[in-house]
Structure 1
Amino acid sequence: MDTLAVILAGGQSRRMGRDKGTLPFDGVPLLEATARKYQGVFDAAAVSVDRPGRYPGLGLPELPDQRRGAGPLAGLEAAFTLTDARTVFLTAVDLPFADADLARRLVELRGNADVCIIRRGQGGREPTFAVYGRSCLPHITACLDAGERAFRAFFPLVEVRQVAEAELPGWDLDRVLLNVNRPEDYRRALDLLHQGAAGL
């Protein structure tokens, strides 16, 4: 398999107070809305979960964490360990306006780098909307074995293609990368969704 889209949905949603994947969004649970975006975009799509059977009936293969409670980096490790994908496009369930066309563009921009990631104007990077090559796997595993769970510990070990905002004309990155972590974030996302529907 060349490219696999993996939706991270194994978190505990503590700040939200309920499972983010089940939040209603545009008439369906947020995880289902996200899954629909990526089905048919790459060679396959799957959902990263903390335990098997967390989202029955979704219709996507599950990739259970091999290291419980170790965060998104462990989800990426499981994606490579449990599949034969050469490339993983990693996205989070809590990005309700994530754009599959932008995901494809990042895959194109990766070139020969191990990672392709967006770098925002203020210097922040978006590791849970990014592209990773299989060459990353031994470095991910080494970091996790050493107790390092943050992407920032892993990035210095690989070649990272950082895509500046200016390279992505036509995308409203504030909207596309809006992260729904807290109830107020969810309310904002719903407001933006309704505003968009009203403008049609």
Structure 2
Amino acid sequence: MKKFGTAIILAGGKSSRMGFDKQLLKINERSLMDRMIQKLSREFEEIIIVTNKPELYIGLSHKITKDILKDMGALGGIHAGLSHSSSSLAFVAACDMPNINMEYVRYLKDRLNDNNSLGCVTKFGDWIEPFCSFYSVELIKNIGKYLESGRRSVHGLIKDVNISYIEEKDARKFSPNWDMFLNLNTREDLNKFLLNAGGWSN
């Protein structure tokens, strides 16, 4: 099994705060999801999209899947994506992240090459950033049991397993303003991003 061939995009959220389905987000008249797929395809051979609307992706050559454990939030999406991964470690992002930093992705890979941990996530103070992270397929059973017990926190799941952590100060060398972890959760977030994006074309 290849170590780093897979990227998972979570697109199954309810988008209640945005007011419309974030899978349909467009920036400069182009789908944000299309941009993400194109960017991640330069680094990963396999793209897995976890979505509650697979009909939106008919005709794509990528793997499309629904949650296996329904209504379990982001961790349920990670579980579904890992369950279809052909790589031992998969990169996970959300469909509303416009600023994925591929240099940082490669940095995470390098860190994982130096150890045998079951993933790599970034710290934000005492908390973590659950996305723009790597998770191992060896976590599938752990996640399933954790979700079935009624818990959904990614932070709660990984605190008891062998995970590598990137300290905030090290991550900020790649993204001083932390925008590589930006999620467009609301219309206000989107409008602010568009206002500041300028000639954004990544």
Same fold (TM over 0.5): yes
Which structure 1 residue ranges, 4+ long, deviate > 6 Å from structure 2?
A: none
In the alignment, the residues of structure 2 paired with residue 51 and residue 21 of structure 1 have an alpha-carbon distance, to the nearest angstrom, of 9
In the alignment, the residues of structure 2 paired with residue 57 and residue 18 of structure 1 have an alpha-carbon distance, to the nearest angstrom, of 23
**What percentage of aligned pairs have identical amino acids?**
24
What is aligned with 1:55?
A: 57
In the alignment, the residues of structure 2 paired with residue 91 and residue 26 of structure 1 have an alpha-carbon distance, to the nearest angstrom, of 21
Question: Residue 24 of structure 1 contacts residue 30 of structure 1 at CA under 8 Å; is this kept in 2?
Answer: yes
In the alignment, the residues of structure 1 paired with residue 28 and residue 117 of structure 2 have an alpha-carbon distance, to the nearest angstrom, of 36
Question: Residue 26 of structure 1 contacts residue 193 of structure 1 at CA under 8 Å; is this kept in 2?
Answer: no
SS of alignment partner, residue 128 of structure 1: strand
- Residue identity opposite 1:125 in structure 2: I
Equivalent runs, 1:14-33 vs 2, <5 Å: 14-33=16-35
In the alignment, the residues of structure 2 paired with residue 55 and residue 192 of structure 1 have an alpha-carbon distance, to the nearest angstrom, of 30
Instruction: Choose the corresponding residue for 1:80, options 69, 78, 82.
Output: 82
Instruction: Choose the corresponding residue for 2:97, options 95, 98, 120.
Output: 95
Cα-to-partner distance string for 1:115-160 (whole Å, 9 max, x where unaligned): 211112x333111221111221221111012121221221123112
| Count of residue correspondences | 196
Question: Residue 52 of structure 2 contacts residue 66 of structure 2 at CA under 8 Å; is this kept in 1?
Answer: yes
What is aligned with 1:149?
A: 152
1:192 aligns with 2:196: yes
Let me know the Cα RMSD of the aligned residues. Answer: 1.9
What is aligned with 1:129?
A: 132
Residue 195 (structure 1) shift: 6.0
- In structure 2, relative to structure 1, the CA distance for the partners of 1:26 and 1:97 (3 Å cut) is farther
SS of alignment partner, residue 55 of structure 2: coil
- Residue identity opposite 1:155 in structure 2: I
In structure 2, runs of 5+ residues without a counterpart are none
Q: Quick check: 176-185 or 133-142, which moved more?
A: 133-142
Q: Normalized against structure 2, the TM-score is what?
A: 0.88
Residue 62 (structure 1) shift: 0.7
- Residue identity opposite 2:160 in structure 1: L
Question: Residue 6 of structure 1 contacts residue 88 of structure 1 at CA under 8 Å; is this kept in 2?
Answer: yes
Question: Residue 25 of structure 1 contacts residue 33 of structure 1 at CA under 8 Å; is this kept in 2?
Answer: no
